[in-house]
Amino acid sequence: MITFGYSVIAVIAFSCFVFGVRAYISEPNKILFLILINTSLLWFDSFVTAIGQYTGEGTLLLVMTYIRYAAHWLTLPLLFIVAGMILRAADFKFAQSKYVMGLFCLIAVFFIVYDFRYMFILDFYPVCYAETFRYATQVPIGQECSPGMAGMGYKVLPIAPILLTLILLISGIAIWIKHKWPWLAVGCGVMLLAAQPTSIGPILSNAGEPVFIFALMLAAIKFGSKAKKENSPA
């Protein structure tokens, strides 16, 4: 049943990516392009967990795990730049400053470097819950595949995702007040609720990600396209 849940999430996440690609082809904008870079392998995270019980422990699943972690650590920080671009496109005066945008870019670069270094210093350990099998940097208590493995490894604190979601939630609330458009705030609120730690693994967090990204895409389409039209020559 858990495997089916991850499979559904993978399909929804991939559908979200396809929606974004079609929207970008229809009307390209830079904000949506950055979101698509992050979203391109969003589906892969849940897909790898869904097929883990079939591939079993070994090189194939481990390589796929390295890919999904690398994609997460390299592309998630790009959404800090997206946050600044959305605020700028939504006509917030402070976001028009090149120094403010520079700060968003600096935060993105910092977290890319800070998080990606884990690829070279951490190991991955087998994790089991119900019928699912995956690799993670730490074995959560109650999800060990064999006795004595609980707690083994290193827990990477999700500093970047938490900070990003809070920034976008605050941005979404500000946009809601200024433009009467609530959907970015709603998407971020769903993500915050879904990301709370549970004993059943990251399935709820994974389920919240497509909702979060879809709301971000809608904001990019609404405000990015608007800004592009306003800046284009008559």
Residue 158's pLDDT is 93
The alpha carbon of 61 is separated from its chain's Cα centroid by a whole number of angstroms, namely: 21
Q: Give the start-end residues of each E strand in the chain.
A: 125-129, 132-136
The alpha carbon of 134 is separated from its chain's Cα centroid by a whole number of angstroms, namely: 19
Rg value, the chain, Cα: 19
Mean pLDDT of all residues in 91-114? 97
pLDDT tier, 200 (very low <50, low <70, confident <90, very high otherwise): confident
Residue 234's pLDDT is 44
Secondary structure letter of residue 160 according to DSSP: H
Handedness of CA 81, 78, 45, 205 (dihedral sign): negative
Model confidence pLDDT, tens digit, residues 105-125: 999 999 999 999 999 999 999
Among 82, 101, 92, 107, residue whose Cα is nearest residue 188? 82
Domains and CATH numbers, the chain: 2-228 (1.20.1070)
pTM of the model: 0.92
pLDDT tier, 196 (very low <50, low <70, confident <90, very high otherwise): confident
